[in-house]
Structure formats: structure tokens, C-alpha cells
Amino acid sequence: MITGAAGFLGSHLCDKFVGEGYKVIAMDNLITGDLKNLEHLFPNPDFEFYHHDVTKYIHISGPLDYILHFASPASPIDYLKIPIQTLKVGAMGTHNCLGLAKEKRARILVASTSEVYGDPLVHPQTEEYWGNVNPVGPRGVYDEAKRYMESITTAYHSFHKVDTRIVRIFNTYGPRMRLNDGRALPAFIGQALRGEDITVFGDGSQTRSFCFVSDLIEGIYRLLLSNYTGPVNIGNPNEISLKRFAEEVLALTGNKVKIVSLPLPVDDPKQRRPDITLAKKLLNWTPIISRKEGLEKTYHYFKELPQEEWYRQPKEFLSGK
Ligand SMILES: NC(=O)c1ccc[n+]([C@@H]2O[C@H](COP(=O)([O-])OP(=O)(O)OC[C@H]3O[C@@H](n4cnc5c(N)ncnc54)[C@H](O)[C@@H]3O)[C@@H](O)[C@H]2O)c1
């Protein structure tokens, strides 16, 4: 079972597991996801979709071997608009998935994030670092939900002996992201496609490390099949400043727009780079797609979308309860 299956990462996970010959139950309430990401899988008899909110009790008949819990708004533009749902899916959604794993004796992997490191005081970030998170800052709803997720997952492992895995995902990009999700990479590509100036927050010296989606999915697959229960960083350690990155996007698109600066958002992390020593040793995993190749694939995907997608406004949500 994969929760958050209609989202960016969830849909790629569905492809991977169906491709490896598993029967997949995909679950999503479509709050930020889109069935378009899954429609190619609907004819497959090994694939089933359940429209369900994982903060409500989850019932699945029959056995389950693995649960991958990926349901959660993931980009600031989403979780700042639906802060309570974000906290609930990290807390109650994770609790329900862990309960299901216990009942079915299934192995469960939960999707944590580099955001548990907050605005890190240690660089690059290793799994031992405890983080620098502001619980009452605007991003706290996401960061603390994921920290609670790690905590309750670890408690289910030690207290109920549930077989658990925790992946700490660093910025990942690729086809099926939403152009308007507010993250730097789709924002830059969207602006370049629409012929608008590219906006960089602050002086653009803050860094990010971008991992192409196929590398991340392979890392998650290997972690699930490993026997390690502690948190594992999966990401690409190739770090770049956002200013330099905006220049790379511009060069790729051949566009002549300007790069302009906007005020830095509150609690925006200044630097981010995974230390992946553990993943290399444990999973014999390392990212193989260069930023140039990944960026080209992603740009091509967005360029081929119907033009109205380039102008689609961010999703409005009905309530933040
Ligand atoms: N993309 C990244 O770079 C990144 C980095 C770190 C962590 N993650 C984690 O990976 C997971 C997936 O992220 P994504 O980028 O694919 O985001 P996404 O928004 O594309 O996908 C999230 C999916 O979860 C679904 N969802 C949200 N709340 C739900 C609920 N209560 N019940 C059922 N479904 C619900 C949404 O409808 C959506 O389809 C998230 O848990 C996120 O925190 C992603």
C-alpha cells in the first residue's frame, strides 16, 4: 500500500512497484495530488486506487506486505495554507498507518524529510544531527509533523516490534511536480516558460541539493528491502546556490529574461546538503543522474504540457481544519 499515491513521489513509487511485479494499493484523498499522475496504471489488474483520507481509520481486507506512507502536503505553498491538515496527516495519518502495519504484520516505510534538520547548524547534515527547528515558525507545522512521525514510528518499532523504515528525503525534482507548487525548481522553469523574470529569494546565496526522482525512488526501494530501522538520508549531495541554479535554468531554456530578487521568507533554510555516507554503505546506493540530465528531462516534461498548465494557479483549499 502506498499513501499519497497520486502525488509527485507517490505516483513514481506506484510505477516502480508495479514494474517490479508487486500488487499495489494506492491511497490518496487528492488534496494536493492529481489522478492524472496515476491514470496510466488504472488498466493494470495489479493496481487499485482507494480515495481515502489517511487521518481517518484505514481498513484493508486481505494481507499486506509493505506500507509506504507518503501522504502529506510537501511544499510550503500547500502546507502554509492547510497547516492543521499537515499536522494531522503527519500525526494521525502516521498513527493509522502504523496501526495497520501492526495488524497486518507489514513492514512500513515512512517519508520523512531534510526539514527535520530545520535551518541546520551542521553542514552537511548527517543522520546524527538533531536539527534546528522553530516549532512556532510558519514552517513548524510541517517540520514538527515529520519529527513526530519519526518519533511515533520509532516507538511502534521498540514497543510493538513493528518492522519500520524511515527515509529522510532531500529536495527531489522531476516530471509530475506541479509548476505552481512554490518550490524553487518548478517556479524557475515555469517563469522561464512564461517568459517572466526569474525570482530568487534574498541574494540567492542560500544553497539546495537537488536529487532526480528516479535516483530517490531507487534509494527508497533499497531502504525498504534493507534491514536498517534508523533514519537514512536519501538525496543528492551536489550543492548549488539558488542564484547559480536560476542561471542554469535560464541557460537551458535559452530565455533572455532577468533574474530578480524578492525578500527572503521567514525561516528559509540557508543551506542544505545531505551526507549520504550511510546510504552508500548500507544500501550500496548513490545518485547517478547529473543535474544537467535531470534538469533537461524535467524541462522537457513541463514544456510538453498543454500551455494552460503553465498558467494554472496554485490549488485553493476548502478548509484548514
Ligand atoms: N518532493 C520532495 O522533494 C520531498 C522532500 C522531502 C519529503 N517529501 C515527502 O514525500 C511525500 C510526498 O511528497 P510529494 O512531493 O510527492 O508531494 P505531493 O503533494 O505531490 O504528494 C502528496 C500526496 O499526499 C496526498 N495527501 C495529503 N494528505 C492526505 C491525506 N490526509 N490522506 C490521503 N492522502 C493525502 C496528496 O493528495 C498528494 O497526492 C510527503 O510526505 C513529503 O513530506 C518530499
Could you please report the per-residue DSSP string of 114-176?
A: GGGGBS-SSSSBPTT---B--TTSTTHHHHHHHHHHHHHHHHHHHHH---EEEEEE--EE-TT
Domain spans of the chain, in order of start: 2-174+211-237+269-288
State the burial class of residue 198 (Cβ atoms within 10 Å of its Cβ: 0-12, 13-18, 19+).
buried
| CA 251 / ligand 1 centre spacing (Å) | 30
Q: Whose CA is closest to atom 11 on ligand 1?
A: 70
> What mean pLDDT comes out for the span 45-71?
98
| CA 111 / ligand 1 centre spacing (Å) | 9
Q: Whose CA is closest to atom 32 on ligand 1?
A: 53
If pLDDT is split at 50, 70 and 90, which confidence band does 268 have?
Answer: confident
Pocket of ligand 1 (CB under 6 A): 3-4, 6-10, 28-33, 53-55, 70-74, 89, 93, 111, 113, 169, 171-172
Please list the residues that pair with 165 across neighbouring strands.
109
| Percent of the chain whose pLDDT exceeds 90 | 85
For domain 2-174+211-237+269-288, say whether CATH 2.40.240.10 is its number: no
Please list, in sequence order, all residues whose beta carbon lies within 8 angstroms of the beta carbon of residue 107, skipping any fewer than 6 positions away. Answer: 65, 66, 67, 101, 163, 164, 165, 224
Chain Cα centroid distance, residue 129? 20
Cα–Cα nearest to 16, from 213, 259, 258, 240? 213
In the predicted model, is pLDDT for residue 50 greater than 80? yes
**How much is the pLDDT for 313?**
82
> What mean pLDDT comes out for the span 294-313?
92
Q: What are phi and psi of 290, to 5 degrees?
A: -70, 160
C-alpha cell at 112: 520523512
Which of 97-106, 224-233, 270-279 is predicted with the least confidence, judged by mean pLDDT? 270-279
**How much is the pLDDT for 3?**
99
**How much is the pLDDT for 280?**
98
Look up the pTM and report it: 0.96
First to last CA, the chain: 26
> What mean pLDDT comes out for the span 237-263?
91
Cis peptide before 76 (omega within 30 of 0): no
| CA 256 / ligand 1 centre spacing (Å) | 34
Cα–Cα nearest to 165, from 283, 265, 253, 77? 283
* Catalytic annotation present for 142: yes
In the predicted model, is pLDDT for residue 319 greater than 70? no
**How much is the pLDDT for 318?**
62
**1, 8, 57, 183, best to mutate for ligand 1 pocket (most atoms within 8 Å of CB):** 8
In the predicted model, is pLDDT for residue 254 greater than 90? no
If pLDDT is split at 50, 70 and 90, which confidence band does 165 have?
Answer: very high
Q: What H or E segment, with its residue span, contains residue 283? A: helix 277-283
| Mean pLDDT over the full length of the chain | 94
pLDDT tens profile 167-196? 999 999 999 999 988 888 999 999 999 999
Q: What are phi and psi of 198, to 5 degrees?
A: -90, 125
Catalytic: which of 142, 156, 173, 299? 142
In the predicted model, is pLDDT for residue 321 greater than 90? no
> What mean pLDDT comes out for the span 307-317?
83
The 3-state DSSP composition of the chain as helix, strand, coil percent (nearest 5) reads 40, 15, 40
- Torsion, Cα 125 172 197 314, to 10 degrees, reads -120
| CA 270 / ligand 1 centre spacing (Å) | 23
